Structures are given as C-alpha cells and as structure tokens.
Structure 1
C-alpha cells in the first residue's frame, strides 16, 4: 500500500492506494487542474461549489466512457457472431475476458455515479447549513457592533459574543473541509476508473 501527500487547491491530503506514487500524484494534479479551471472561470464560486462542478464534469466523462464501452461491447458481439471474420480461439477468449472486464467496470461506474449523487446531496446540505451559519455570523456581528456603540455595555459581554462568533466560524470551516475531502475522494476514484477503462479500450483496439 503506497501513501503520498498531495496538494489540491492549496490544501494537503493524504492519498493511499495500490497505485504507484507517481500515478496518485497525476490523479491529484488532474483534479487540481480541473478545479482551477472552474475557479478561474468564475471567481465568485465557493470552494464547495467548485468541488461540485468538478465532480459533475468528471461524472460526465464517466458517462461518456460508459457509452463508449457499450459501443465496444456491441462491436465485439458483432465480431464474434460474424462468420466472415475468422478469429482464433485464443483471440476469442481474450475478447471475452475484455468484455467481462468492461461490464464489471460499467457496474463500478454506475455504483460510483450513484454514490456521487448522494455525496453531491450531502455537500448541498452542508452548503445550506453553511449559509445559515454565515447569516448567523452576520447577525452576531451586528449585535457586537451595537454593543460596542452602547456606552452601557460591558466588555465581558462583547468578549463573550466574539468568542461565540469564533466558534461558529471554526465549525463552518470544518464543515467546508469535510465537503472538500468527500468531493476529492470521489473525484480520485472516478479518475482511476476512467484510466482503467482507457487501458481496456487500448487492449481491444490492439
């Protein structure tokens, strides 16, 4: 099991897996590049929104791979059923193995897409809660401003409000980090499946 520290959008993550360290770094660079492209296109997007859009783009690529796999499977079936094409037993067995492997990858992609939709829903929920927290923070800021402008207020009350705000902000930041990590993990898995499907297609084309 290999382990490597990668950086995505300025944050460091620990990746572990059977892939080589170089491959895992390439996966992280791909995800970071996709997120940077989306973030540069619209600087107003939050980190969570950028993560969701990146995940959707990768999911779109997975769907395209799935459709391509189906086309390849059809071509394989036609090749096996067409008597004009002479295929050796060894080649037929290899084609059958590749067909089974592609079907298995299609199932993995389908499962991944399902899980990705669930995670997108969780991220949207986190963003909604984040908005509520930010609204609360703004409300507390106004209260603090009013307290500071009120000569009757005590410093202890102001300090307590400030500490409460700091706790709320810390909680909000932690939830954002969790959402980013969830999206990153699924993006890594999606990209690995895409690479494996590409390898299978290359074998078939040979």
Structure 2
C-alpha cells in the first residue's frame, strides 16, 4: 500500500434479484446494500408488471435502462441546481464586494 492511501474493506454479500443469487463485494453497510437491492427488485417487478415479459434477460435489460434513464435525468437536474447555486453565490459575492 502506498503512503497516504486509504483502503476500503469490501465485504461479500449474497443477494437475490430476479430469482438469481449473486455475491457482490461492497464497502457499504448492510442497510445500504439492502436498500439498493430492494430498489432494483421493485423496479424489476414494475417492468415485469407493465411489460408482461417473463424473460429474465429482457427484464434485467429494461430495468437497467429505466434506472440509467432516471440516473441521467437526476444528474441533469443536479447540474442545473448547482449552476443556479453558483450563479447566486457569484451574485452575492458581487453584492458584498460592491458595498465595501
């Protein structure tokens, strides 16, 4: 290990999604992993319900696409909010500097 390098201890956790048992390595807590797994299960169940598709691969791909779409939408919203905050901060700095 290099000096100053932080190591994360990853723990193997057994999960079950779409009737498949997997082992994942995570440095997050059990609660966080359980929440993520439940979220993916819920989204997969939604895909199965809406599409009526029982092919596990199709359900997995559609679920991944839906989650990726949500991620990119939230990422764009986050960027817009950060830009707005940056503009507000710059305006406040200008106001403060202008009053001195």
Task: Count how many residue pairs are aligned between Structure 1 and Structure 2.
Answer: 86
Gaps of 5+ in 2: 1-9
Contact 2:53/2:59 (CA < 8 Å) preserved in 1? Answer: no
Structure having greater relative contact order (Cα 8 Å, sep ≥ 6): 1
Q: For residues 128-185 of structure 1, give each alpha carbon's deviation from its aligned partner in whole angstroms, at most 9, with x where no partner exists.
A: xxxxxxxxxxxxxxxxxxxxxxxxxxxxxxxxxxxxxxxxxxxxxxxxxxxxxxxxxx
* 3-state SS of paired residue (1:84): helix
2:76 aligned with 1:57, yes or no?
Answer: no
2:76 and 2:89 map into 1 onto residues whose CA distance is 20
RMSD: 1.9
Structure with the higher strand share, 1 or 2: 2
Q: What does residue range 7-18 of structure 1 map to in structure 2 within 5 Å? A: 7-18=16-27
Choose which of 73, 76, 84 in structure 2 pairs with 1:67.
Answer: 76
Look up the SS of the partner of 1:4 in the other structure.
strand
- Taking structure 2 as the reference length, the TM-score comes to 0.74
85 and 35 in structure 1: CA distance in 2 versus 1, 3 angstrom threshold: farther
Which structure 1 residue ranges, 5 or more long, are not aligned? 87-206
Say if 1:79 and 1:85, in contact at 8 Å, map to a contact too: no
**Higher percent of residues as helix:** 1
TM-score, structure 1 as length reference: 0.38
